[in-house]
Chains A and B, each alone.
Chain A
Amino acid sequence: MTHVPRNNPEQEQGQDFVLPVPISFEREWLKDLESRLDKGGPWGDWRLSRLAIEGEASGLVESFEELQCMKHLSSLSPLPHQIDTARKVLFEMSGRAILADEVGLGKTIEAGLVLKEYLVRGLVSKVLILVPASLVLQWVRELNTKFGISAVAQKKAYSWDNDIVVASMDTAKRGPHKDRLISDEYDMLIIDEAHKLKNKKTTNYQFVQQLRKKYCLLLTATPVQNDLGELFNLITLLKPGQLGNQGDFAANFVVDKRVAKNEDQLRGELSKVMIRNRRGEGPVTFTKRKVRNVPLTLSPEEQTLYDGVTSFVKDQYQESGGNLSSMLSLVTLQREVCSSRDAVFVTLVNLMKKLPEDSPRRDRMIELLQLIRTVKANTKAEKTISLIQEMNEKVIVFTEYRATQEYLLQYFREHGIQSVPYSGGMNRGKKDWMMDLFRGRAQVMIATEAGGEGINLQFCHHMVNFDLPWNPMRVEQRIGRVHRLGQQNDVIIHNLSTNGTIEEHILHLLHEKINLFETVIGGLDTILERFEKKESLEKSLYKIMLEAGSDEEIRSKVENLGQTLADLKDGMLNESEATP
């Protein structure tokens, strides 16, 4: 055989074709073929070759601009807004975007669709997904089961060798992992809960900035938490310069930390990099939320304790001469009495420890402790048990206080109801374990506020607010755990509230005035932002509770506050109707 050297210009016949785009040929096959010819095989089976070709043909991406991933996903039927989002990210944003849907609209699904599309197109193979530790396994599970994407959780150093790795941000940003990740190149980077990247000076931010990535998705339900500068930082991470320099941005768009100017123009710029679907709008239909307020009357002992604490708090406030900040923890006492005697006991003891031995306050507090001892039963807990027995289904009970959580666990156990705790302090393994137990065996999950983030409990549609947070966003987050996409039933929300206490006022505000429980308020965050230009809602409430002389006064002040919120809400509605 005469061997003609390859790419010999003499041997080329006819004209040369010049392509406007560089082309590369994979030529390993020729070596393989020649070596097999030398050795006389082994040769492949024609039936298998044909199968391979048919396989390729069936998955061939025939168009630049057509979503391919849907035909590969037989076990998933995404909602229209999710598919729209995926399409926008691919074809309008070229794969770099902030997905900022409100809680519960399925940002993970959207990110999964985008990722799947790039994988199917063969544009992405190496992927890094950074999420809070508590969400690692959930991501792995969803990508595997819903999208057929072989993602693995990062467990050991060698896990990084996998193509698609889900890791916790806290692990990844530390050495030795950090150096390894920075020296790699990722076709795609996905970051969940990306609002944790709002500060330029943090290690999180600098780490993500150093990662080399082609496509990048940042997921957050709250792109702006405190000020517009945060949004600027987030976008700079994704596409530096998109909003100009920090100076340009401030000059063009910012009036005050929280107030934007040239909003239309800003919105236009943002829409090039950010997609935000809201719950109140669009074709997404959720099941209904049904609210049952359960008014309770404190037992005489509990009422005495409550009154004792209230007068203690008032007196202290008077004495301090209206110094608000040091008094906040005292209002907490009042709230805790409404929850459980255990909660108020723990706080009281802690407060006492901080006081000097001879403080006159000590005596008052010891009196209160005596009062606590007289309380034998918990009216709310009794009611909760009877509610749970009535429903005879899975229930999630939310409380603000760890002590109440502990108490309820024990109380339920005594009454033969299987319950599991869930709180922010648990490590991720334990959290997952508790979720599994709740899904399987236990009837009740008792969660403290920290349980609000990142858990999905679509299989449960009863929730009990044993006590209420004073921040409406946190209430919404609680509900969002259960009332989200995938929930098949109407969600039934039981609000326990004790008559004649501050709880009654709060429930009145949240339920009657802003109708928080029943309707999904689109842009609740915006309403609060506008309200809280001066002071947070929580703080305003604390102030009212401390300063008001009588129950009547509290009532009218809360009423005013509620009216302001309701007006803001109406204003928002009008705006969104005016600008379709």
Chain B
Amino acid sequence: MTMTPQQVQKHVMDYLEATECQVIEKSPAHVTVKLSPRADQMLTDRPYYWGFVERTGAEPQTLSFTFVFDPEKYDAANAPAQRVSPVVNAAGGAAPGQAPNAGGAFPAESPGLSAGRDTGPGQASANPAPGAGSSPAPNAGGAAVGAGNTPAANAGPNDGILSRYFGVTPVLPRLGPGLIRREDVTYGSRRLRQIWSAAQTEGKCLHLFEVPGSLQRMTLFSAAYEPWLAVCFKVELSCDLKREELHFIGVSLLTGEVRENFGSRLDSIQLSPRLPENVHIQPYELTVSTGADLLERRIVSKLSGQDYGWAEAARRRLQGELEIIDAYYGELLKEPDEAQRLAVEEQYNGRRKETIWQYEPHISVSPVIYGLFHLRKQ
């Protein structure tokens, strides 16, 4: 499964929203955002800086990015804008002296242009930027966008030297107004992987309650809530190749009933971290640990019904390889010289271990997320 730019954007926006980042500008092809301290700590790899902030209590300066989801569209939308911008400036007279940008960086977006875009519907259709007018800090934000969008801003004067030494330029923080790094975020990009893994780190362990309908508060009787332990397991079936499965299953800590596709039940309701009014949780009959056992047993039972042809094939390959190795070293192990024979034996054992490591089939199960869910009893 791959993802369209729209899907990628949805994921990134979900993350930015959940971590309370400040969106400065947004279009179907990109988003410019000032990270929240929380997201900055997860995404920018600046442990020393955050250590410094923590120890000194200094006001944290978070970084801003322009994430581009559809580079082609984004560049196309911005290319005509450049040609238009001086005209807009001349007409509006809004941004004195910003047109001839220094250093060959072409004037992309600037306060003048955002203003122009709002007034010029012809261009606005290409890049609507609904946030531009209403963003909380239109001046600072707009100026920052201007520099961030110029590709030249990505190649600072130091990049050549650094990349000569390291092979690639390490991502350095760019602080201050006007320094926003543009980054293309597509499926498979490092940033998207990082966002998912940050989401997992922060969101893996849950404790949630179903939000009841508004009527519940009015009714006389408190609603009974059933506690569920649910885990989304990732099952990895590996040999020299690999296949994976996801199983989101839950077990009622009241009855021990196990339900599969637990995710779809959760998707159909609203969840809140707080205990709603006028509901009560029924006491746990099973411990969390017992529940976990039941879940694992269900996984095993599900797996037992599968075809294990892949594992047999892998074992046959392993056997074949081991026979070749045994035959080869069998000859060499006849070596009369003691020291040499020991060396050969070590090599032989090493090679055998490597081969088993490479081919031996095994299954490992690990959780993606897990938690307790208190749902209205059905």
B140 within 8 A of A: no
A433 to B327 Cα, complex, angstroms: 51
A48 engages B289 (CB within 8 Å): no
Chain B 122-133: CB-based contact to A (< 8 A → 1; otherwise 0):
000000000000
Partner of A23 from the list B190, B327, B364, B367 (CB cut-off 8 Å) is B364
Contacting residues, chain B, for A41 (C-beta < 8 A): 207
Q: Is the CB of A45 within 8 A of B311?
A: no
- CB of A507 within 8 Å of the partner chain: no
The residue from B203, B248, B300, B324 contacting A17, defined by CB atoms under 8 A apart: B300
**Is the CB–CB distance between B363 and A22 below 8 Å?**
yes
Q: Is the CB of B207 within 8 A of A36?
A: yes
- Which A residues are CB-close (under 8 A) to B364? 23-26
Q: Which of A237-245, A281-289, A309-317, A393-401 contacts B (4 or more CB under 8 A)?
A: A237-245
Complex interface residues of chain A between 379 and 418 (CB less than 8 A to chain B): none
Q: Interface size on A (CB < 8 Å)?
A: 93
8 Å CB contacts to B: which residues of A484-520?
Answer: none
For B161-172 the 0/1 string (1 means CB < 8 A from A) is 001111110000
Whole-angstrom distance between the alpha carbons of A213 and B164 in the complex?
30
- How far does the Cβ of B52 sit from chain A's closest Cβ, in whole Å? 22
| Residue of B whose beta carbon sits closest to that of A5 | B289
A349 at the interface (CB under 8 A from B): no
- Let me know if B359 is at the binding interface, CB within 8 A: yes
Q: B6 contacts the other chain (Cβ, under 8 Å)?
A: no
Q: Which residue in B232, B290, B304 is a CB contact (below 8 Å) of A19?
A: B304
Interface residues of B in 190-224 (CB under 8 A from A): 190, 192-193, 195-197, 199-200, 202-208
The answer to the question of A436 belonging to the interface, with a C-beta cut-off of 8 Å to chain B, is: yes
CB atoms of B365 and A23 under 8 A apart: yes
- In the assembled complex, B244 has its CB within 8 A of some CB on chain A: yes
The interface-forming segment of B11-19, B59-67, B107-115, B142-150 is B11-19
Q: Which residue on B lies nearest to A22, using beta carbons?
A: B362
Q: Which B residues lie within 8 Å of A43 (CB)? A: 205-208, 273, 371
> Is A429 engaged at the interface, CB distance under 8 Å to the other chain?
yes
Does A172 make an interface contact (CB < 8 A)? no
Q: Does B293 belong to the interface (CB within 8 Å)? A: yes
Binary per-residue interface labels of chain B (275-309) against chain A in the complex, 1 for a CB within 8 Å, 0 otherwise: 00000000010011110110011011101100010
Given the contacts A48-B199, A52-B199, A94-B240, A7 and B354 also touching, CB distance less than 8 Å: no
Partner of A20, one of B14, B263, B311, B370: B311
Give the CA-CA distance A270 to B237 in the complex, in Å: 30
Pair A141/B354 contact, Cβ less than 8 Å? no
When C-beta atoms are compared, the residue in chain A nearest to B207 turns out to be A43
Question: CB of A212 within 8 A of chain B?
Answer: yes
Q: Which B4-60 residues have a C-beta within 8 angstroms of A?
A: 11, 14-15, 17-19
Is A376 part of the binding interface, using a Cβ–Cβ cutoff of 8 Å? no
Q: Binary interface profile of A, 45-86, with partner B (CB < 8 Å = 1, else 0)?
A: 111111111111110111111000001111000000000000
**A239 and B242: CB pair below 8 A?**
no
Which of A11, A53, A58, A96 makes the CB contact (< 8 A) with B1?
A58
B205 close to A18 (CB less than 8 A): no
State whether the Cβ of A136 lies closer than 8 Å to any Cβ in chain B.
yes
Task: Please tell me which one of the listed residues B240, B359, B371 contacts residue A44 in the complex, with CB atoms under 8 A apart.
Answer: B371
Considering the chains assembled together, what is the distance between the CA atoms of A298 and B197 in angstroms? 69
Does A241 lie within 8 Å of B325, measured CB to CB?
A: yes
1/0 per position for B228-240, CB-CB distance to A under 8 A? 0001101011101
Query: Does B105 reach chain A (CB closer than 8 Å)?
Result: no
Interface check A536, CB cutoff 8 A: no
Contact B232 A53 (CB under 8 A): yes
Verify A25–B203 contact, CB threshold 8 A: no
Interface presence of A33 (CB below 8 A): yes
Interface flag for A152 (CB, 8 Å): yes
Partner-contacting stretch, out of A142-150, A196-204, A336-344: A142-150
Q: Given contacts A24-B364, A29-B231, A51-B199, are A64 and B369 in contact (CB under 8 A)?
A: no
Question: Which of B3, B263, B273, B301 touches A53 (beta carbons < 8 Å)?
Answer: B263
**CB-CB contacts below 8 Å: B339-364 with A:** 347, 350-351, 353-354, 357-359, 361-364
Asked whether any CB of chain A lies closer than 8 Å to the CB of B225, the reply is no
A42 → B minimal CB distance (Å): 8
Please measure, in the bound complex, the distance between the C-alpha atom of A240 and the C-alpha atom of B355, giving whole angstroms.
Answer: 11
- For residue A214, CB closer than 8 A to chain B, the reply is yes
Residues A48 and B202 in contact in the complex (CB < 8 Å), given A4-B290, A17-B301, A123-B242: yes
A433 B199 Cβ-Cβ under 8 A: no
Closest beta carbon of chain A to B59's beta carbon, Å: 24
Q: Does B265 contact A (CB under 8 A)?
A: no
Q: Smallest Cβ distance from A430 to chain B, in angstroms?
A: 10
Q: Is A319 an interface residue (CB 8 A)?
A: no
Check A1–B284 contact: CB distance below 8 A.
yes
Within 8 Å of chain A (Cβ to Cβ): is B310? yes
Contact A46-B206, Cβ < 8 Å, known A1-B284, A56-B196, A436-B160: yes
Contact present for A90 and B241 (CB under 8 Å)? yes
B289 touches A24 (CB 8 A): no
Would A21 and B362 count as touching, CB distance under 8 A?
yes
When distances are taken between beta carbons in the complex, the residues of chain A under 8 Å from B202 are 44-45, 48
13 additional contacts, CB 8 Å, given A29-B204, A151-B167? A17-B303, A23-B300, A29-B367, A29-B370, A33-B370, A44-B205, A49-B369, A51-B15, A60-B1, A136-B167, A139-B167, A145-B168, A240-B325
Pairs of residues from A and B, 4 with the lowest C-beta to C-beta distance, nearest first = A241-B328, A140-B167, A48-B203, A55-B196
A-B contact pairs, 22 of them (CB 8 A): A12-B297, A19-B303, A20-B312, A23-B364, A26-B364, A29-B367, A33-B370, A44-B206, A44-B369, A46-B203, A48-B200, A53-B246, A53-B248, A55-B195, A58-B1, A60-B1, A62-B1, A64-B241, A64-B310, A74-B187, A122-B242, A123-B241
A residues apposed to B, CB below 8 Å: 1-4, 6-7, 11-12, 17-27, 29-30, 32-34, 36-37, 41, 43-58, 60-65, 71-74, 90-91, 94-96, 121-123, 136-141, 144-145, 148, 150-153, 155, 166, 209-210, 212-215, 239-242, 244-245, 429, 432-433, 436, 440
